Amino acid sequence: MTSGVGNSPDVVAMEPRNGNGSVSVGIVDNGGGIVNPAFQPPSLLSQQSTVWTRRQQAVCVRHAFKHYGSASKPNHVLSNLNMTVAKGTIYGLLGASGCGKTTLLSCIVGRRRLNTGQIFVLGGKPGTKGSGVPGKRVGYMPQEIALYGEFSIKETMMYFGWIFGMETSEINDRLQFLLNFLDLPSQSRLVKNLSGGQQRRVSFAVALMHDPELLILDEPTVGVDPLLRQSIWNHLVQITKDGHKTVIITTHYIEEARQAHTIGLMRSGRLLAEESPRVLLSMYHCQSLEEVFLKLSRKQGTDGQPQETPVNISNNISLATLNWGKKDEPVYVTEESGVVGLNFHQSKEVLAQDQSNGINGKLSEMQMMEPQYDSSCCEITTRGKTKALLQKNFLRMWRNVGVMLFIFALPVMQVILFCLAIGRDPTGLHLAVVNKEMDWNTMECPVYDNCTLNMFSCRYLNALPKDTVVLDYYETPEKAINAVKVGDAWGALYFTENFTDALVARMALGRESDDETLDQSEVRVWLDMSNQQIGLMLNRDLQLSYRDFGQGLLQSCDQNPKLADIPIQFKEPIYGSSDPSFTDFVAPGVILTIVFFLAVALTSSALIIERTEGLLDRSWVAGVTPLEILFSHVITQFVVMCGQTALVLIFMILVFGVECKGDITLVITLTILQGLCGMCFGFVISAICELERNAIQLALGSFYPTLLLSGVIWPVEGMPILLRYVSYCLPLTMATTSLRSILTRGWNLLEPDVYLGFVSTISWIVLFLSISMAVLKFKRG
């Protein structure tokens, strides 16, 4: 690449550099100005290496293209943009709202990736190993507040300080300085209770916290009073003085950017100019930078689309470096370049420092040295980051009463409600009875418990379970049936007036009994089967009561009670009890569902809230990786889950007596694993969804199908064969079967039914984690 340095500068302007007495010299175009008599065009040497030279700049952006939206309908935000920020300078990035400043900055700090083009920041490419960007080499103040509202100012500083690898004492010292410098209120004040301006200052303080090499400030002076604004600028000038720190700042107060060393005027994703304020003013014969901007904007408007001439970008600092042999001479470099495709003159001033103030040597040293690499690049994580992230997660939970209730009160309430409301036999069911053996006037129905062969209907009715059925007597079968029809009773029972005689005859005659006898000896029942559970239960109770009645009668008449039973002998069940409860069947699924979906609910919104508040991005720019964020949530959730699992199991097993025949450690492990699985599913949701409401919809939307298809409330064996396969692929199905086998059969890990539940759960955890990591990485691009 050739440089335009060989073109003799027409005019060179000298201006004192802020405060330090050194001089910086700008080269002005043919429009007139002061010529620096000392100027000697640097001898043109071929560049050693483009990469090497770019590494000498703080930021170097080349041919940057960035669009949002799909490739078919792109919203172009950066269009062939080039930008050079010299080390040790303040770079004011100005431009109208929506021109792409924030997008450019977010690409520089590694929050976003360009579609094409290159960015070098502090010698490396953002996002590459060892570049330190994102990381502690950069201090970033985004446009949004991006702070944890529930944190105090001190906790905020601690959080970011730890992430930046600072010691607590160091953070405290720095905090005191920043509190004074930025005129902040007491360090114990919660960020959410600060005024907008105060919050912005805290956000600024976070960027300054670790005294980074490169400060990137997106509108730091919005909502800040003029006095403080000036002191912020003074501070920026101060920290860039020694050439080690660089600042890129955007502001809507164009005139305050006069204090910057270089100004980049941006419009529609391109840089219209990149000059020192003085050069810009004299180049365009304007009194204010605003006028310059307007002129340039109009020029761009009349020029129409920029010509796609190859951009000739030389590198001032590299040239300066190549010419560094003449250390005692100021170095001036001019280049003619079609910056961003616009054919306009871009002269650049390279600051040459007076050797007498000692800075020249430093600059020289800095520019000649190899890029510094972040030594923490190869660590998976640091103690500070882990501490900061964990403290953040726990504090956020602890400070939020709603979340705490959600975490611990809700599972207990769900278990209590489940055990009280599900699986118990219904009671107080009305039966409409027509008993023609009774005297309707006296309503007497004597019950004999000896071998008296009289009033069998009363003896049978007496055998019905008292808490389950309530007997209402009716005069005629029509009235009793009508009571069922209008919903007053769940069934109607009819006994003929010679029920007892017919039943005795039936028993005595056996196969000799005629149809009339058989008919008269039967209890006629009309049930309301609209409610399957109640209908089946009444059916069962009516039959069991008849067996009890028959056995009691035979026993009292010294007969073998077995004669009253059907000839099927049910032995003691191998697993479960002979009176199984629906609760025991559903409980395993309910335990897992509660823990799984609470975890989904808790995590699905966690990342989204952080993202919408800008906290996630800010943490990323501070050097926290998606893996560290996920990992910190996994640990936090794990602790929460242990508490939830303990509560759920204590209430289920100890308080409500749900059967547990197996190893309780297996039960605990599987429950916690399911919680982790739910959490990972929550991560997927929060990674996919941009808005909290979408996450809630997705979480709720997935709840019902999962519950219905996982064999929690009905056996999977009852599903059509295809749906069964779908069911087995869901995260809860095999785990529910596994937990059921442990609880009710007492099986151990050697049984396929049990270990497949563990295998399926762990596989889902890995799958969900991989998906969320992939989505997070994709979104950053």
Residue ranges that bind ligand ATP, judged by CB under 6 A? 68, 75, 77, 95, 97-103, 143
Beta strand 214-218 with 90-95 is: unpaired
DSSP helix/strand/coil, 95: strand
* Closest to 419 in 3D by CA, of 654, 577, 596, 597: 654
Task: Name the minimum Å distance from CB 611 to ligand ATP.
Answer: 11
* Cα 100 to Cα 67: distance, rounded to the nearest angstrom: 10
Task: Name the minimum Å distance from CB 610 to ligand ATP.
Answer: 16
77, 96 contact by CB (below 8 A):
no
Task: Name the minimum Å distance from CB 142 to ligand ATP.
Answer: 10
Task: Name the minimum Å distance from CB 252 to ligand ATP.
Answer: 7
Task: Name the minimum Å distance from CB 102 to ligand ATP.
Answer: 3
DSSP helix/strand/coil, 19: coil
* Cα 292 to Cα 118: distance, rounded to the nearest angstrom: 28
Task: Name the minimum Å distance from CB 144 to ligand ATP.
Answer: 10
Peptide bond into 134 cis (omega under 30): yes
Task: Name the minimum Å distance from CB 311 to ligand ATP.
Answer: 22
* Cα 569 to Cα 224: distance, rounded to the nearest angstrom: 88
The whole-angstrom distance between residue 309's C-alpha and the CA centroid of its chain comes to 45
Token output for 636 = 């936090």
The two counts, helices (H) then strands (E), for the chain are 26, 15
Minimum CB distance to ligand ATP smaller for 95 or for 682: 95
* Cα 565 to Cα 53: distance, rounded to the nearest angstrom: 99
- Three-point CA angle 32, 36, 42, nearest 5°: 110
Minimum CB distance to ligand ATP smaller for 266 or for 527: 266
Minimum CB distance to ligand ATP smaller for 110 or for 731: 110
* Closest to 273 in 3D by CA, of 240, 244, 247, 295: 295
Minimum CB distance to ligand ATP smaller for 269 or for 675: 269
Minimum CB distance to ligand ATP smaller for 6 or for 98: 98
Minimum CB distance to ligand ATP smaller for 68 or for 440: 68
Minimum CB distance to ligand ATP smaller for 77 or for 249: 77
* Closest to 474 in 3D by CA, of 460, 491, 462: 491
Instruction: Match 């007596």 to its residue by tokens.
Output: 657
* Cα 587 to Cα 593: distance, rounded to the nearest angstrom: 10
Q: How close are the terminal C-alpha atoms of the chain, in Å?
A: 30
Minimum CB distance to ligand ATP smaller for 200 or for 459: 200
Minimum CB distance to ligand ATP smaller for 21 or for 69: 69
* Cα 699 to Cα 623: distance, rounded to the nearest angstrom: 30
Torsion, Cα 297 303 305 306, to 10 degrees, reads: -90
Minimum CB distance to ligand ATP smaller for 85 or for 537: 85
